[in-house]
Structure 1
Amino acid sequence: MVFWIVTAFIAFAAALLLAMILVRARELGEPAAAYDLRVYRQQLREVDKDLARGVIVEADAERIRTEISRRILAADAQLQKRKSGPAQPKGLSLVFAGAMALLITGGTLGVYWQLGAPGYGDLGLEDRIRLAGERAENRPSQAEAEADVPALPKPQVEEGYVQLVEQLRKTAGERADDPQGQALLAQHEANLGNFKAAYEAKENYIRLANGQVNARDFTELAELRIMAAGGYVSPEAQTDLRKARAIDPEHGPARYYWGLMLGQIGRPDLAYREWAETLRSGPAEAPWIQGIQGQIEEMAFRAGVQHRPITPGGGSAPAALPGPSTEQMEGAAELSAEEQQEMIRGMVTRLSDRLASEGGSADEWARLIGALSVLGDTDRARTIYDEARTVFSADPEALALIDTIAAQAGLAE
């Protein structure tokens, strides 16, 4: 109620000010004729002085006085006409001023009633972070999101291609233990716009690959889920992205979709930071870079950040967080599932030891919490989360990042 009273008072005050200007019809400055009169009278005095000094003769003085007097009479007539001219209709002015006051006041309140959020209280940073965490935990599942997506038009393809895909489905069904067949099926189902069938085939491929998967595979699985849900990053897609980032923290497509997810759950500040760092990492021609460039200004606006153009691949980003090198990733592809898991645990352990002995940034603590949750070490992840909150207790921005990651991992209460 207080909000409505204050808003109505401000709108009425503005309308009243405009109405007073209309009614009083005030005019700034003086008429030009009044200035002319002062000049002409000064000229008459100058004529008398010039005559006394002998600069002009009496005949010339009389002729000049006559001309100046004629001009004085003309200026005085203009001034009198201005004062006695028709006045602004007072009644009409009052009616118009009242109508304008009602229009401004009523229009302001009406527009807010339609476009605003009456009764919605102010939210501090802590409340917004808490709501973002709740939104991350309680948002719709993949199945629920797919149920709400309207049917999309299928891409136009040749009939022969459709028949080939049908044959591939039959073959993949007969060879249910062939990972390559599932990978091909996922690709071609996506080409036909059958994204649900595509991500189901991709899931089968990952299951059958016996650990011979990388960050790209999990990101592609997440992407297919997102496309099936109409652009929505579901909890299932988020889990796939978290696995991809645990394997390769600098994987560009995963970082793009991670930022998209952060924006959807109400954390555009973290999304903007993720996208800005991804832009700086490049490369400029990458498709995910173009996707970020098309949306980062809107994300910056939502985050309340003044966005400045970022050159892709400019190298001005903060130092990348420690992660596996390209050689390590190539070598990991040749390891068994157990060996890959052991490799990841080794990297997580080294990161944990370094943070315990040397400290580190909030991003590194958040990475450790997320990696531990992916590995299923929930108790240790919760311990690290509690320790991180103590370390960064005086840094609200760092706490916001850590709380969000913990909420996404199901650790925050």
Structure 2
Amino acid sequence: MRLSVVLSIIAVWGFALVNDSGLGKLFYTEEKMNWLIVICSIYLWGIRKRTFIPKMRIDIVLCFLLFFIFIPYFISNGWDGATYLISFLTIFCFSNINISSRELTVSSLVIGFLGIGLITVYQKTGILSGWNDNSIAMLTLFSYIYFSIFFNSVKGYYARLLCLIVSLVYYIMILGTESRGAALFMSLSILLMLTKNYTWEMLKKNKVRFLVIHFPLIIAVMTVWISEQSWFPELDRLYQIEHTKPIFNGRDRIWGNVFNQMMEYPFGVGEFNVNHHNSAIACIGVFGIIGYIIWCNFFQRQLSKMSEHLYDSIVYACMCAFIVIFIQQSTELGFIRPCPNMMPYMILGLGLGRVRWYEEHEKIYE
């Protein structure tokens, strides 16, 4: 087992914990993390001559540079797009790791118990009292989803029983937060674990993967449409009497404003000046509709490549974990921003690392 692989995974979790905190601002952890990723990428690309998998054509690279860096800089005089694209370098770095079953087991257990420790400390002590409740819930959810990779790849009866017990503990703890979405998507993650035989076949279909990639946009369009119906204000009023906050909690207005501004800002506003609570809307609002198409195409190609190797339990587990987070970002934030939570990008990279290993060895035996 390579200790460096396990420590790298734990480091990503640690950065996700502190980056948005006062401690992170004090020690500039976002900037340090970004430089580590950039240096690692330069080493892999410049010295070891590694490439993305699937390999990115030069025209795609130029489109990313144009619509995610140069045009946003021209519009807003800022580098939000450039710092966001470092998340893609995270995929690149971790896709050069062929993680072993033992490394996956150890890192999954460590991250899983770190997540439980985090939510326990937050709920039972005042150490993290100044932290955002939703951020804690999201990192707890991402910790559990990474732990679920181990659940999806393990076959022993007692190991799966342990996973179910840990899942139950997680679910009870996360219900104590104010995040409705975290509990919902944890349930979805458990469902994917228990229906592997059916999910495995579904993920092979192009239409299913297309729906997954565009799911956040579909949710946004449906939400805005519902909020504009004549009967909605009364329904929303009744809901607020029971739950003290609106059904969509203001997301319908944010998403509607982005749709209304598409003609005025066809290339986006160039910076993350609003918490969009939806990855598709954030991409359209900041990088425009062309940027959104490029962004979707990138992830579509990644998932399509992984779908060719779903017979590998780790590839399957990583793909399921990434999909749960991607769908979860239909109503939450953290996936697309100047310095996003790198855990979903790391998970995608680890799955692609296994794919790279298979494809490189297939070429050897041809």
Instruction: Pick the TM interval, shorter chain.
Output: under 0.3
- TM normalised by structure 1 equals 0.22
- TM normalised by structure 2 equals 0.24
Query: Higher relative contact order by CA 8 Å / sep ≥ 6: 1 or 2?
Result: 2
Structure of larger gyration radius: 1
